[in-house]
Amino acid sequence: MKNWLTAAKTSIPAAALHGRNRQTMLNLEHNSKTFAGNKNVLLNGQRTEPLCSMRYGTYPLSWNGCELIACYNCAKMLGKEVTFPQVVFEFELNKMHYLFPNGYWGTAPKKLWYFFKKHDMPYRFSRNGENFAKLAKTERASCGIISFWNNKRSTAKLNGLDFFSGGLHTVAYRWRAGRFYLYNLYGNDTAPRTMSDIADAYREKRFIIGYVFDDELKA
């Protein structure tokens, strides 16, 4: 497992504050101030305030923040003591950016499990959309995360990254009483969207990976 560094246990010497380290610390300060007053709320709409004014790498979260938002939302649903600026900081600190270190392509969905392991979030996963739709409805399921390419497959690739796919998106959901409540499905959402079948979120797109977190009380 990757040696994940957490915000609480990390101290970067002043002499080391240059390049990416300096950007990471500046982002933490900026994001903490911007997010103040929004604690303990589930996040929607990365293109809305205060999310669109926060930064990941050198880009605003309105551009690349979906994986961070999804991980934070599920952590809060599971009762974890973590702040959203802390999540952004940890992902930067552990170099979780997808392909480019400036955060242009966001975060690699298949590496999110590093965060789950460090924050004691046991999970099940599937890389098949049909199988995942069944997994997400099991009796113990509580919440989860799905990632998908936005458009149909293209023929131009580099290191497995589909440049003409319209990008990818990652969404957190809560499973309650036969309904899925999806957070940040669209960038301007101000409330979760509901559906009876999680596959409806990616049916016309291309599924990448999905994670399911169980309700410990049902274990």
Amino acid residing at 184: N
Residues of the chain with confidence (pLDDT) below 70: 1-2, 7-20, 100, 152-166, 217-219
| Dihedral sign of CA atoms 43, 44, 46, 50 in order | negative
Amino acid residing at 204: E
**Residue 16: its pLDDT value, please?**
46
Provide the whole-model pTM: 0.88
- The pLDDT tens digits of the residues spanning 188-218 come to 999 999 999 999 999 988 899 999 999 875 5
**Residue 200: its pLDDT value, please?**
96
**Residue 67: its pLDDT value, please?**
97
**Residue 21: its pLDDT value, please?**
77
Spatial separation of the C-alpha atoms in residues 68 and 46, rounded to whole Å: 10
Taking the C-alpha atoms of 53, 56, 58 and 64 in order, what is their torsion angle to the nearest 10 degrees? Answer: -80
Q: Is the preceding omega at residue 50 within 30 degrees of 0, hence cis?
A: yes
Spatial separation of the C-alpha atoms in residues 30 and 180, rounded to whole Å: 33
**Residue 216: its pLDDT value, please?**
73
CB atoms closer than 10 angstroms to residue 159: 6
Q: Are strands 206-214 and 168-176 parallel, antiparallel or unpaired?
A: unpaired
DSSP letters for the chain: ------STT----GGG-SHHHHHHHHHHHHHHHHHTT-TT-----TTSTTGGG-EETTEEHHHH-HHHHHHHHHHHHTT----HHHHHHHHHHTT-BSSSTTSTT-B-GGGTHHHHHHTT---EEES-HHHHHHHTTSTTEEEEEEEEESS---S-EETTEETTS--EEEEEEEEETTEEEEESSSTT-SS-EEES-GGGGTTTSEEEEEEEEE-GGG-
